[in-house]
Amino acid sequence: MKKLQIPRPLSCIFALFNHRDHNYSRFWVDVKEVIMSRGDLERFELSIDESVYLHGEELYDQGGVKELKKGENNLFTAEVHDKGRTYEVEIQNPASLQRRVTCDCTNYLNEGTCEHIVASLLAIRKKLFRPKKPRKITKREILEPKFNARAIAETLSENEMKAFITDYSRKDRKFDLFLKARFSKKIEMKDNSVKYKTIVDALIPPAKNSDYKVSKSSANQVIKFFDEFLVQIEDSLAMKQFKEAFEIFDPVFKKISYVRHYSRDQIDALEEQNLKYHKILLRLLRTPAAPELIEEIKQYMMSIASFSYYSITDFSYNLLYMLYSHDQSYLTEVSEIISSKTLSARDPLRVSLYFYFNQNKLDDKFLSAWYDDQSILIKAMEILIENKCDATAKVILNIAHDLGWSNSGFDDLYLNIMKLDNNYEEFISYSITKLLDTQQFYFYKLMINKLEPELYNMAYGAIDQVAKELDPDLLCRIYEYNRNYNALMETIKDNNDIYLAMKYDHTLMETHREDIDAFYLGGIENYLKDHMGYEADRYINNFLDHLRMRNNKSLIKKIRNMIQKKFPHRKRFLQLHQQ
């Protein structure tokens, strides 16, 4: 039996009924026919730049897709070999309107798509739509056709279907809005932006007071509409209808920003939508659209960025950074906007952008205003370094150093920058200077923990050169940390300090037992020669208690023998020996 086909207009309508987020189960049709259609895949291909598509097609033809697996939740993973490298591609719901794609190549990170995704998509299409043997229709099915949406579509006339849709849309507001959203492109108006604004304004009403909040359920509901509009924008871009794409984008993006601002909860799906729409706007800026449209988009970005409800949550994908990256003549404008937003709420991300846009103004006076906000400043510099703006962070650090600001966070960041620059000589020199200035073990540990093991010897050599300038206790701690027990023992001997030895002998009693015992015996003998009475008695008692704690019975015995032999005239110590 020939496979039944649904007429195109009706299939569109039933695709709407079949949307998984609407409970119109009695109108369901075959998902394979409507959503997972070959046309949906081809529409995605049309949205990709021609050169990228051709490269991906060539990769596929050459067998570049080495491994293709289908996992749970309709997630496909592929390994694509290209120019000697292997890239990992993930595509979820490849033939759906809610398609998600990712690749670990730089092209994808910059443009949002790449040739590896195209090659994987072609491989998936072959796998999904491999010709199958027609299923044998049973006699019962011929005699008793199923009662489902397909049967209804074949039975109803077009007028009956129109009447039903008109009537149902009056009764169900959700259905009415989704109907308008799905087919809004088919209705031409003098000002198309009005129809899109009408739809999105109906989704979430304007705030009536300062306590207004958008519930999580309402936010999740509008996300489904944003998905639908995203598909329409992609279609317009694929057909190079840039003006129409922007007309759809304009009210939707405003509403996304609005919902994010007033939402009671952090909603991951909404944050994903926000990022997607930022990337769409970046693509619009890079299109060969008319200069007037590009200028309109730039002014739009300036306007939205100034809104109180527009939130900046990403260093690169925010309107100000995107505008400045595309056209640096807007530096003054974006600087003024970020300055006003930073003064109203000094969160580290905004502060990082504030310094990035004002890097030409950085001087002692400019930075001094941030003296009381050093913790925020440090976090902002971490964001700058993370986003490869370490030159700006380095200028801030140098000024802070010249101003005499003492903060371990600054030192940590400064070392990170030098490490990124592979400037290890300056890295070690700076660490040693801080070590000498502060005599704090923190700076040595900071240096060693950031260095690669093969550079340890360079650091050890630098320490040896300044050893005499370091506090003996700090030097001993460094040697103990490095497990350089020979140098530790020699430092204790050179300083002839029993209390210093007592601090580090827990290790030396295992590695240099004879040396530490001889040092203690000689030190105690010399002490008793110079001290008498209560002071000498207290000193010996404290030292013997220390040895008992270390469980060094043999040394206790040696000390008592030494006292009996060298100081027989001191009855107090003889009594101690006999205990």
CA angle (462 as vertex; 457, 464 as ends), nearest 5:
95
Q: What digits encode the pLDDT tens for the residues 444-477?
A: 888 888 888 888 888 888 888 888 888 899 889 8
Q: Dihedral (C-alpha) 390, 396, 398, 399: value to the nearest 10 degrees?
A: 170
At residue 34, the pLDDT reads 30
What is the CA 175 to chain-centroid distance, rounded? 38
Lowest mean pLDDT among 62-66, 206-210, 493-497: 206-210
Mean pLDDT of 198-214: 72
At residue 222, the pLDDT reads 81
Task: Say yes or no to pLDDT of 139 above 80.
Answer: no
Task: Say yes or no to pLDDT of 502 above 60.
Answer: yes
436 versus 246: the higher-pLDDT residue is 246
Of all residues in the chain, the percent with pLDDT exceeding 90 is: 19
At residue 172, the pLDDT reads 66
Report DSSP letters for 308-325, one per residue: TTPPP--SSSSHHHHHHH
Q: What is the pTM of this model?
A: 0.57
The 3-state DSSP class for residue 344 equals helix
- The Cα 367–Cα 394 span in angstroms is 13
Main-chain dihedrals φ then ψ at residue 71, nearest 5 degrees: -105, -155
Q: Residues with Cβ < 8 Å from 255, sequence gap 6 or more?
A: 200, 201, 203, 204, 222, 226
Lowest mean pLDDT among 62-71, 176-185, 371-380: 176-185
Q: Residues with Cβ < 8 Å from 248, sequence gap 6 or more?
A: 184, 185, 196, 229, 232, 233, 236
At residue 511, the pLDDT reads 92
- The Cα 140–Cα 394 span in angstroms is 79
Confidence of residue 320 (pLDDT cuts 50, 70, 90): very high
- The Cα 579–Cα 575 span in angstroms is 7
H helical segments located in 112-241: 115-128, 139-143, 149-155, 158-171, 173-183, 192-203, 216-238
Q: What digits encode the pLDDT tens for the residues 351-360?
A: 999 999 998 8
At residue 412, the pLDDT reads 82
- The Cα 278–Cα 448 span in angstroms is 41
At residue 11, the pLDDT reads 40
- The Cα 37–Cα 27 span in angstroms is 18
What is the CA 106 to chain-centroid distance, rounded? 16
Confidence of residue 10 (pLDDT cuts 50, 70, 90): very low
Extract the tokens encoding 348: 């580290």
Lowest mean pLDDT among 133-137, 191-195, 240-244, 508-512: 133-137
Confidence of residue 91 (pLDDT cuts 50, 70, 90): confident
Task: Say yes or no to pLDDT of 69 above 50.
Answer: yes
Task: For the chain, give the mean pLDDT.
Answer: 80
Q: How many CB atoms lie within 10 A of CB 490?
A: 14
223 versus 59: the higher-pLDDT residue is 59
